[in-house]
Amino acid sequence: MGLMGKLMTTVFGGGRNAIRETVEVFRENAEASGVRDLDRLSASLAQHAAEFRETRRGFDAVMDGINRLPRPLLAFGTIGLFAAAMSDPIWFAERMQGLALVPDALWWLMGAVVSFYFGARHQLKGQEFQREIARTLTRVPMVLDNTRALRALEAEADSGEVTENGAASAPSLTLTGDGQRTGEPNAALADWRVHRAG
């Protein structure tokens, strides 16, 4: 008893757990990992709250407003050019002659500035669009299966199978969200049809 007690005290005593400490060398402690993740999330939320605080200085508000101007200015400016071309073609033609004098290098520079400004947003929207297309393509087999099932039902209704009250017989299959057909073949319905025909 004394030897076993000393052994247990050595392994588990003194507020230590030698087995747990040994395992943690090879595998991360899930509870400690959760605590670290919570601390990291809390720190990032605190930083976010500090950056976007309620009491904004005048300079921050002005800079935010300036950052939001280019997109609406370009959009409304382009629409304004069309309106100017229709309302005063001579004035519009004079301005376009001025643009014709802009050197190609300046057009390239302008294109680079606009591309860099809108490039990140365009890339983000493009990736979201690709994800949406991939999601849609995963639904194609289900749509094809449902279409085939509906055509089979239509062919069954057109075949002239009629119940006693003159209505078409109940469908023998059902569509599901994942494209699987349930109730096909319907043994009871097939047996009823055999007895009815015979």
The residue length of the chain stands at 198
Find the range with the poorest average confidence among 59-68, 140-149, 166-175: 166-175
- Residue pair 35/43 in contact by the 8 Å Cβ criterion: no
Per domain, the residue ranges of the chain are: 1-39, 77-138, 141-158+171-197
- Which tokens is 71 given? 């997109």
- Which tokens is 96 given? 């376009």
Distance CA 138, CA 179 (A): 12
1, 32, 100, 105 from 123: Cα distances, Å: 71, 37, 31, 25
Q: Write down the pLDDT at residue 136.
A: 81
Q: Write down the pLDDT at residue 86.
A: 92
- Which tokens is 37 given? 């993740």
- In this structure, which amino acid lies at residue 10? T
Q: Write down the pLDDT at residue 15.
A: 62
- Which tokens is 114 given? 């606009």
The rounded percent of the chain whose pLDDT value lies above 90 is: 7
Q: Write down the pLDDT at residue 167.
A: 47
Report the predicted TM-score, pTM, of the whole model to 2 decimal places: 0.33
More confident residue, 176 or 80: 80
Q: Write down the pLDDT at residue 80.
A: 93
Q: Kindly tell me the sign of the dihedral angle through the C-alpha atoms of 92, 94, 100, 102.
A: negative
Question: pLDDT tens for residues 68-123?
Answer: 888 889 889 999 999 999 999 899 998 888 888 889 899 899 888 888 877 767 77
Q: Which 8-state DSSP code applies to residue 181? A: E
Mean pLDDT calculated for residue range 135-147: 82
Q: Write down the pLDDT at residue 1.
A: 54
Burial group, residue 168, by CB count within 10 angstroms (0-12, 13-18, 19+): middle
Q: Write down the pLDDT at residue 76.
A: 94
